[in-house]
A and B are shown apart, each in its own frame.
Chain A
C-alpha cells in the first residue's frame, strides 16, 4: 500500500479548493477592517468639523485677546471620557497657545484657505489623534489677526469601532466559510463516489473473480477506467481459463500412464517368485509412486495458483474430518494423531485446498517424526480470522533449515523422500486465504506449522 502514503485525490482536491478559499477569506477580513476603519474616521471627521465650527463661534475677541464663552456643561461633555477626551486649543497667531485644555500638534501645512477646516493626524503621548484645525480672521479690518481653533479626538474609539464591526462580521463570515467548506467537501465526496465504488468493488473481489466490473452511473472519466480494467480482466480470464484447461489436460495425460504403470508393476510383483526380481519390482513401484506423488503435488500447486473457491465452511469440523481420515495411517505408523481446539469455527475458505494443506502437513509429520510421536491438528479462533496448525514432537528443524522450508523443491538434509513441494503448497494455500503459513520450533522439541487464515 505504498500508493496510500501519497495524497489521495480527495485530499488534493480539498487542499486546492479550501486553501485558496482560506487565503481569500483572510484577505477579505483584512480589507473589511480597513474599510471599517476608514468609515469610522469619516464619522469622526464629520463630528470634529462640526465641533470646531461650534467652538469657533464661541471664541470672542476681547480687547487684544480672545475669550471662550464656554458653557460649563459643554466643557464637561468635552472632557467626560478620559479615554476619549476631546482636546481643544485656540492659538493666535496660529501655533501660539492661547486657550484650551491641551497643547495640540500643528498641521504640517497651514490651511490653504482660512475658514476651511483641515483634518490631519497627530500624536500626543504616543497616542494617535485625529485633529481638525480651522483658521479664522478676527479683529479690525485694518489690523487683521488670525486665530486657529483646533479640536482633537483620540483614535482609540475609532479603532474600537472598526474592531467591533469586523468582529460582528466575523461570525457570519466564518459561518459562511464553514458552510462553503462543507459544500465543497460534500461535492468532492459526491464527485468521487464512482471511484470509491469502483475501489470497493475491486477490493471485495476474490483474487480469482475475473468477471467484468459493472459500474453504471459513472462519469465518463471513470467509465474509461472501468473499460480499461474490464479489458484487462477479460484478457486475464482467457489466460486463466487456458491455463486451467492445460492443467486439467496435463493431469489426465500424466496420471493415466502412471496409473497403468503402477498397476502393471503391482501385478508383476504378485507374479514374481524370484526374490531379486521382486526387489527390483519393489524399487520400480516406489519410483512410480514417487513420480505419481510429484505429479500430484505439481498439479496441486498449479491448481492452487489458478483455482480458489471460497465458501462458508466449518474449519473445525473439516479439520476433524481430515484427521479422522488420516487416523488409520497414523496408527499404522505408530503415531498418536489427535485434534485440539474449537468445536466449531465458521470461516470462508476453499474446502478442497484447506484439506490439501492439512493432508500435506499431516503427511510431513508422519514422514519426518519417529514412531511413537504425537501429532496434533489444531484449530483456533484469532482476532483476524482463524489459525490452523499441525504440531508434532519430532526432531524439528534447525534455524537454518526453518528459513528454507517454504522454498519450492527444497528438501532438508534429514528429510529423504518427498518432493519438496508440500510446504510450498501449504504456503500458497494460506496466501489464497488472505494469510500466510509460518513454521516454528516447539519447545522442548517438535515442529509447528501454522496457517493464518482471514
Chain B
C-alpha cells in the first residue's frame, strides 16, 4: 500500500482515479489545482504522484519542477491531454518518471503506476535484485540474475552465458519484441564478452534456446524483420 497524491482538475476523472487506486489498495489524497498540490506536498509525505499538466492557478510543469527540487526521488506520473511531443519531452525533462496521454485505460494506469512504484522501491544498484519470474501457464520459468541460473518447472536448465543473457532479455521484455540489436547490445555488455558477434549467430542461439524450452508452454516467436518475442502459449 502506498500513499498517492492525485492532482487533476477535472472532477469526473479525479473521482475515477481515486476510486480505481483505492480499490487497488492505495491511500489517496487529491488536489484540484497546482496551489493545493504544492500545499499538500509540503505538509504530507507521499510515495507517488499522479499529476495532470493542464492545471489551473499553478500549472503541472511548475508543480513538477518545484517538487523535484525538494524530492528528487518521488515517483511522478504525468497525465497530459496534449499528445504533442513538447509536453511529453518537457514533462520528462522536468523529472517525470512516466506519462500517459488522456484518455487512457484504467488498467494501464494502474500497471504503469505499479511498475513506477516498484522501480522506486528498488535500490540504485541491482546487488540484491530479486529473481524475476515468468509465468508460463503450466510451466514456470524462473531466472536468478545473481547466480546466474534459470529454472524451468523447478528444474535447473543448463545455459551458456549468451543463452542466459538472451533469455534474460526476452523474459524482461516478455510480450514485447526484442530486436536483434537489443540482443547484440546485451551480449556486448556481458562480462567476459569480447564482442563482435555475427548477427546470424543469433539465430543459432535462438534455435538452441528454443530446444531447451521445448516441452514448456514457452516459445520464442520469430517476428518477421523485427526480432524475437517470448510468448507463453496458454493451452
Does chain A have a CB within 8 A of B207?
A: no
Does chain A have a CB within 8 A of B62?
A: no
> Would you call B83 and A251 a contact (CB within 8 A)?
yes
A 257-272 binary contact with B (CB < 8 Å = 1; else 0): 1111111101100000
Once bound together, how far apart are the Cα atoms of A248 and B83, in whole Å? 9
Does chain B have a CB within 8 A of A323?
A: yes
Does chain B have a CB within 8 A of A336?
A: yes
Once bound together, how far apart are the Cα atoms of A248 and B82, in whole Å? 6
Does chain A have a CB within 8 A of B116?
A: no
Question: Which A residues are in CB contact (< 8 Å) with B229?
Answer: 327, 331
> Would you call A340 and B224 a contact (CB within 8 A)?
yes
Q: Known interface pairs A267-B106, A336-B224. Does A307 touch B19 (Cβ–Cβ under 8 Å)?
A: no
> Would you call A338 and B223 a contact (CB within 8 A)?
yes
Q: In angstroms, how far is the closest chain B Cβ from the Cβ of A435?
A: 22
Nearest B residue to A261 via CB reads B12
Once bound together, how far apart are the Cα atoms of A354 and B213, in whole Å? 38
Q: In angstroms, how far is the closest chain B Cβ from the Cβ of A58?
A: 114
> Would you call A259 and B54 a contact (CB within 8 A)?
no
> Would you call B16 and A324 a contact (CB within 8 A)?
no
Once bound together, how far apart are the Cα atoms of A264 and B103, in whole Å? 12
> Would you call A324 and B227 a contact (CB within 8 A)?
yes
Once bound together, how far apart are the Cα atoms of A337 and B222, in whole Å? 11
Interface-centre pick from A263, A328, A339, A341 (highest chain B CB count, 10 A): A263
A 235-253 binary contact with B (CB < 8 Å = 1; else 0): 0000000000000100110
Q: Known interface pairs A303-B84, A320-B225, A339-B226. Does A264 touch B15 (Cβ–Cβ under 8 Å)?
A: yes
Q: In angstroms, how far is the closest chain B Cβ from the Cβ of A425?
A: 13
Contacting B at CB under 8 A, from A330-386, are 331, 336-341, 352, 376
Once bound together, how far apart are the Cα atoms of A248 and B87, in whole Å? 10
Does chain B have a CB within 8 A of A441?
A: no
Does chain B have a CB within 8 A of A255?
A: yes
Contacting A at CB under 8 A, from B208-235, are 221, 223-227, 229, 231
Does chain B have a CB within 8 A of A256?
A: yes
> Would you call B106 and A327 a contact (CB within 8 A)?
no
> Would you call B177 and A324 a contact (CB within 8 A)?
yes
Does chain A have a CB within 8 A of B36?
A: no
Does chain A have a CB within 8 A of B146?
A: no
Does chain A have a CB within 8 A of B198?
A: no
Q: In angstroms, how far is the closest chain A Cβ from the Cβ of B98?
A: 16
Does chain B have a CB within 8 A of A292?
A: yes
Question: Which A residues are in CB contact (< 8 Å) with B10?
Answer: 256-257, 259-260
Q: Known interface pairs A324-B226, A327-B223. Does A256 touch B16 (Cβ–Cβ under 8 Å)?
A: no
> Would you call B103 and A255 a contact (CB within 8 A)?
yes
Q: Known interface pairs A255-B102, A324-B177. Does A267 touch B227 (Cβ–Cβ under 8 Å)?
A: no
Contacting A at CB under 8 A, from B80-132, are 81-85, 101-107
Once bound together, how far apart are the Cα atoms of A288 and B16, in whole Å? 15
Question: Which A residues are in CB contact (< 8 Å) with B81?
Answer: 251-252, 254-256, 259
Nearest A residue to B227 via CB reads A324
Once bound together, how far apart are the Cα atoms of A341 and B105, in whole Å? 34
> Would you call B102 and A258 a contact (CB within 8 A)?
yes
Q: In angstroms, how far is the closest chain A Cβ from the Cβ of B42?
A: 26
Interface-centre pick from B11, B14, B221, B223 (highest chain A CB count, 10 A): B223
Residues of A within 8 Å of B, CB-based: how many?
A: 36
> Would you call B226 and A259 a contact (CB within 8 A)?
no
Once bound together, how far apart are the Cα atoms of A337 and B227, in whole Å? 12
Nearest B residue to A339 via CB reads B225
Once bound together, how far apart are the Cα atoms of A337 and B223, in whole Å? 8
Question: Which B residues are in CB contact (< 8 Å) with A258?
Answer: 102-103
Question: Which A residues are in CB contact (< 8 Å) with B83?
Answer: 251, 296, 299
Does chain A have a CB within 8 A of B176?
A: yes
Q: Known interface pairs A263-B20, A323-B226, A328-B176. Does A257 touch B82 (Cβ–Cβ under 8 Å)?
A: no
Q: In angstroms, how far is the closest chain A Cβ from the Cβ of B220?
A: 13
Does chain A have a CB within 8 A of B17?
A: yes
Question: Which A residues are in CB contact (< 8 Å) with B82?
Answer: 248, 251-252
Question: Which A residues are in CB contact (< 8 Å) with B52?
Answer: 256
> Would you call A324 and B103 a contact (CB within 8 A)?
no
> Would you call A324 and B179 a contact (CB within 8 A)?
yes
Q: In angstroms, how far is the closest chain B Cβ from the Cβ of A317?
A: 9
Question: Which B residues are in CB contact (< 8 Å) with A327?
Answer: 176-177, 223, 226, 229
Question: Which B residues are in CB contact (< 8 Å) with A376?
Answer: 224-225
> Would you call A338 and B104 a contact (CB within 8 A)?
no
Q: Known interface pairs A256-B102, A320-B225. Does A263 touch B179 (Cβ–Cβ under 8 Å)?
A: no
> Would you call A260 and B13 a contact (CB within 8 A)?
yes
B 1-43 binary contact with A (CB < 8 Å = 1; else 0): 0000000011111111101100000000000000000000000
> Would you call A256 and B177 a contact (CB within 8 A)?
no
> Would you call A259 and B19 a contact (CB within 8 A)?
no
Nearest A residue to B105 via CB reads A266
Which A-B residue pairs are the 9 nearest by beta carbons? A338-B224, A260-B12, A263-B16, A339-B225, A260-B13, A259-B103, A259-B102, A255-B81, A324-B177
Q: Could you give 17 example pairs across A and B, Cβ below 8 Å?
A: A248-B82, A248-B84, A256-B10, A256-B13, A256-B81, A258-B102, A258-B103, A263-B12, A263-B17, A266-B107, A288-B103, A292-B103, A320-B225, A323-B226, A327-B226, A331-B231, A376-B224
Instruction: Identify 18 new A-B residue pairs, CB closer than 8 A, beyond the known A256-B13, A331-B221.
Output: A251-B82, A256-B54, A259-B13, A259-B81, A260-B15, A262-B105, A264-B12, A264-B16, A266-B106, A267-B20, A296-B83, A299-B83, A303-B84, A307-B84, A320-B225, A323-B226, A338-B226, A339-B224
By a beta-carbon cutoff of 8 Å, the part of chain A in contact with chain B is: 248, 251-252, 254-264, 266-267, 288, 292, 296, 299, 303, 307, 320, 323-324, 327-328, 331, 336-341, 352, 376
